[in-house]
Amino acid sequence: MKFGIAVKLGLLLAAVGMLAAGLTGFYGYEASRSLLVDSAKANLLTSTKVLIGRITQQREEVSRNLQVLASHPAALASVQSGNGAQQDQLATLFERMLYANPSYYQIRLISASDNGLERVRVDRAGDHMVRVQGDDLQEKAHFSYVSGTLKLSAGATYLSRIVINHEHGAHSGLEQPSVILATPVVDDLGHAVGAVVINLDLNSVFSALMVNMPREYQLFLANRNGDYLIHPDPTMTFGFDKGRRFLIQDEFADTRDLVEGKPAKLLTEVHDGRYANAPAVAAFIGHKVMTDGDEERLIMGLAQPLSIVLQQADRLGTVVMQMVAGIFLVCILIAAVMARAVTRPINSLSQAVQRFANGHQVTKLPVERQDEIGVLARSVSQMQDEIRQQLDALQSNRQELEHLARHDVLTGLSNRRAFQERLELMLVRAQRSGERFALLFIDVDQFKGINDRWGHAGGDATLKIVALRLCAATRKADVVARVGGDEFVVLLDNPTHREDIVAIAEKLLDSVRSPILHEGQEIQVGFSIGISQYPGDGATAAELLSRADHAMYETKAAGRNGFRFSSTKGSPTNPTPL
């Protein structure tokens, strides 16, 4: 049987159309897959950096709590004289700190003498707190977190290894993954006479950090040797404590260099081992612990199933298959009478798909046609729209993560990291131009009382209103940031005179004189403000922050609800309390 030219041309066009569409679709699929995987890796890396930043903030918060407890007069008195009333007062403070921080298992005051005898100890036992006294107090001098802490200077923090807690009588913390942070208690001569120790619940800390992360993300944490501390499979954690080691480099071979301390980050895909049937993409960061202690380096990573990443690419593959089938039918049906008319639009359509696959360049498609070419054009347009939507969504997610990394979630103000960057930039500019600036360290007075009376909802509402009033009372050129629970900072850009700073400080105090309404109740708020100036109070960010923080505490000691300059020039200012 001989075939006519129409049949031959139809078959030829069908074959060519299928081949062109198939190659174009395959290239588009591969390009889309590569883009999706790269975007997923970048998001995982950004999320890992965010987690590390949150962990650093958590550690800094614990360090601040340790410094508050260690600097309390009752701590020194309890170590030196064993005063029962002072120990009772300190125990009450420990208990309140435990209630305020659900991730704390235990707080102790340990003496440098008597073989490291525990002087004051409060443990978490389920939903209530237990004070350990008398003969149940233990000697802890043989633990490195005691001996190591006693070697530190005042205000420094010691970080223990992350281990399973086997210390006898640890109540809720017994046999649980934990890490210990401690700071020395020093006497008037600067000698370490004891240590305040906080035992931190590792699972609680990381569960809280993962709350806002996508559900499919899997968290990994390993020590410097690669031993798993956090793993989606709990049986693989703390293997060194069970006589069998589970190493991150055995599961993710590419992490061997991270364990050896060579690169700082790693992006990888895993297709073997336990991921043979469910491949994954992962990002890991080797993080150097910037705290004295036993844990020098940690490796943190996030992984995500590859199947979830490629869901959009799979939909694209379906669209491509539909497109190929459509081309085949169109060519067979109309080639005999419209071969030349069909060839031109098919080539044009193929080029449009190729340009979009190469650079996402969108060209006009004949979607208005009511024949097979129009169906194909609408399918291609739908494919382009879906890919653009997915890429826009990925970009939006990345921008949201970047925003979260630099802004406080509750108030929307700049966070500590963004504030530090702005302060460093302002220092560089001031050193170059000779300009001046001032730093106001603000602490909300009696904020704990607000939390105790109105709960965390009332505390959060108060902080939001405080943030709005601080912004309203400052200039656009100034920087307002939240750097802690109830701590804010304001950077005044190039104040001309000291009187200008005084006027702004008084304006800030006036901004909170009117009560805050919460659920029909009035919450009265006051500020304690410490002020440091560049260059008179310091040449570095650390010096300016320290001087302003110290001045703030002097304001609190003088009666709160006022402000004080760090420099000795001029008198402190304490407006009439609210």
Helices (H), 473-561: 498-511, 541-557
408 occurs within a structural domain: no
φ/ψ of 424, rounded to 5, equals -65, -40
CATH code where residue 505 lies: 3.30.70.270
Looking at the fold, whether 250 and 390 belong to one and the same domain comes out as: no
β-bridge mates for residue 247, sequence order:
227
Provide the residue range defining the domain that includes 547: 416-565
β-bridge mates for residue 531, sequence order:
440, 565
Domain boundary among 138, 165, 195: 195
Distances, alpha carbon 166 to alpha carbons 163, 458, 545, in Å: 9, 39, 40
Q: Is 14 helix (H, G, I), strand (E, B) or coil?
A: helix
Amino acid at 47: S
Looking at the fold, whether 387 and 452 belong to one and the same domain comes out as: no
Owner of token pair 């009117």? 514
pLDDT at 576 (0 to 100): 35
**CA Rg, the chain, in Å?**
32
pLDDT at 397 (0 to 100): 66
Domain boundary among 341, 374, 401: 401
Distances, alpha carbon 177 to alpha carbons 83, 161, 200, 391, in Å: 34, 10, 9, 40
Query: d(Cα 574, Cα 561) in Å, to the nearest integer?
Result: 7
pLDDT at 575 (0 to 100): 44
Query: d(Cα 543, Cα 548) in Å, to the nearest integer?
Result: 9
62 occurs within a structural domain: no
Query: d(Cα 419, Cα 276) in Å, to the nearest integer?
Result: 45
60 occurs within a structural domain: no
Looking at the fold, whether 474 and 523 belong to one and the same domain comes out as: yes
Looking at the fold, whether 81 and 167 belong to one and the same domain comes out as: yes
CA 72 from centroid of its chain's CA atoms: 30
46 occurs within a structural domain: no
φ/ψ of 484, rounded to 5, equals -165, -170
Question: Mean pLDDT in runs of 10 for the chain (578 residues)?
Answer: 55 69 70 83 89 87 93 91 89 94 93 92 92 92 92 92 87 88 93 94 82 86 90 88 88 90 88 89 89 84 89 71 70 61 66 65 70 74 72 67 79 90 90 89 89 87 90 87 90 85 91 83 88 90 92 91 76 41
- Would you state the structure tokens that stand for residue 214, as one six-digit string? 């996508």
φ/ψ of 534, rounded to 5, equals -100, 135
pLDDT at 433 (0 to 100): 86
Looking at the fold, whether 25 and 122 belong to one and the same domain comes out as: no
201 occurs within a structural domain: no
pLDDT at 243 (0 to 100): 82
pLDDT at 3 (0 to 100): 56
Element (H, E) at 197: strand 192-201
Looking at the fold, whether 560 and 431 belong to one and the same domain comes out as: yes
Task: State yes or no: cis peptide before 535, omega within 30 of 0.
Answer: yes
Given a contact cutoff of 8 angstroms between Cβ atoms, the answer to whether 256 and 299 are in contact is no
The closest alpha carbon to 530, from 566, 503, 499, 561, belongs to: 566
Specify burial of residue 418 (Cβ count, 10 A radius: 0-12, 13-18, 19+).
Answer: middle
For residue 37, give every residue at least 6 positions away whose Cβ sits within 8 Å of its Cβ, in sequence order, or none. Answer: 269, 281, 306, 309, 310
Looking at the fold, whether 26 and 129 belong to one and the same domain comes out as: no
* pTM confidence score: 0.52
Looking at the fold, whether 145 and 158 belong to one and the same domain comes out as: yes
Looking at the fold, whether 303 and 321 belong to one and the same domain comes out as: no
CA 547 from centroid of its chain's CA atoms: 28
Phi-psi region of 137 (alpha: psi -120 to 50; beta: other; left: phi over 0): beta
Looking at the fold, whether 333 and 458 belong to one and the same domain comes out as: no
- Would you state the structure tokens that stand for residue 347, as one six-digit string? 């080539």
CATH code where residue 173 lies: 3.30.450.20
Specify burial of residue 407 (Cβ count, 10 A radius: 0-12, 13-18, 19+).
Answer: middle
pLDDT at 21 (0 to 100): 64
Looking at the fold, whether 301 and 239 belong to one and the same domain comes out as: yes
547 occurs within a structural domain: yes
In sign, the C-alpha dihedral spanning 510, 511, 517, 518 is negative
Query: d(Cα 215, Cα 277) in Å, to the nearest integer?
Result: 20
Query: d(Cα 5, Cα 3) in Å, to the nearest integer?
Result: 7
Amino acid at 31: A
Domain boundary among 307, 339, 366: 307
Looking only at Cα atoms, what is the longest distance across the chain?
A: 113
* Domain count across the chain: 4
Beta-carbon count within 10 A of 235 CB: 10
205 occurs within a structural domain: no
Query: d(Cα 545, Cα 530) in Å, to the nearest integer?
Result: 9
pLDDT at 198 (0 to 100): 95
Looking at the fold, whether 254 and 270 belong to one and the same domain comes out as: yes
